[in-house]
Amino acid sequence: MKLFFLCLLLISSINSIEISDYCTLCSLLIIPKSWNDASKILNFVCRQFKEESCARIVENADLTTSYPNMYPFIVEFKDRLCEKYCNSF
Residue-wise pLDDT tens digits, 2-34: 556 666 666 655 554 555 566 777 878 889 999
Evaluate whether 10 touches 81 at the Cβ level (below 8 Å).
yes
What are the sequence ranges of the domains in the chain? 33-72
Q: Give the SS3 label for residue 65.
A: coil
Please tell me the distance from the alpha carbon of residue 49 to that of residue 74, in angstroms, as a whole number.
Answer: 23
- Residues 8, 9, 15, 17, CA torsion sign: negative
Going by C-alpha positions, the residue among 40, 35, 29 that lies closest to residue 77 is: 29
Structure confidence by residue, pLDDT tens digits, 52-85? 888 899 889 989 999 999 999 999 998 888 888 7
pTM score: 0.65
